Amino acid sequence: MSKGKKITMWIISGLLAALFLFAGLPKLLTPAKMLSQWVYAPWFLTVVGVCETLGAIGLLIPRVAVLAAAGLCGIMIGAVYTLVVHHMYKELPVPIIVFILLMVVIFLRRKEGRGVGAAVAS
């Protein structure tokens, strides 16, 4: 991988990690505030917060970054679904752009992620 691609990959990964850390921690620390906006069960908000926080950390670890990005893609699909169901169409560009950036991370780190499957298989 060229130096430019590597720098781009780390910048995108770092920004996404910060985004998911700042999105996940409030769900864990102040769930009552977050619940007033959505109709999901409190335990589900905790699960999403844990996934976002762990995904943010995983994006910064090269061996698991592809898996973290893939899991966070699932979270973004759920975010798009939630926004569509609640007719919040003006908010849709954010999760769609984040989803695309996560796919870029998966594409750029795909060779690093192969070591995880080999380690699990042994």
pLDDT digit string, tens, across residues 70-88:
999 999 999 999 899 988 8
Predicted model pTM = 0.83
Q: Is the pLDDT of residue 61 over 80?
A: yes
Q: What value does the mean pLDDT take over residues 20-27? A: 90
**Cα-based distances in Å from 25 to 29, 47, 90:** 6, 11, 24
Amino acid sitting at position 83? L
Q: What value does the mean pLDDT take over residues 64-69? A: 95
CA gyration radius, the chain: 15
| Domain boundaries defined on the chain | 3-113
Amino acid sitting at position 39? V
pLDDT tens digit sequence for 81-117: 989 998 889 999 999 999 999 999 999 888 765 555 4
Q: Is 87 left (phi over 0), alpha (psi -120 to 50) or beta?
A: left
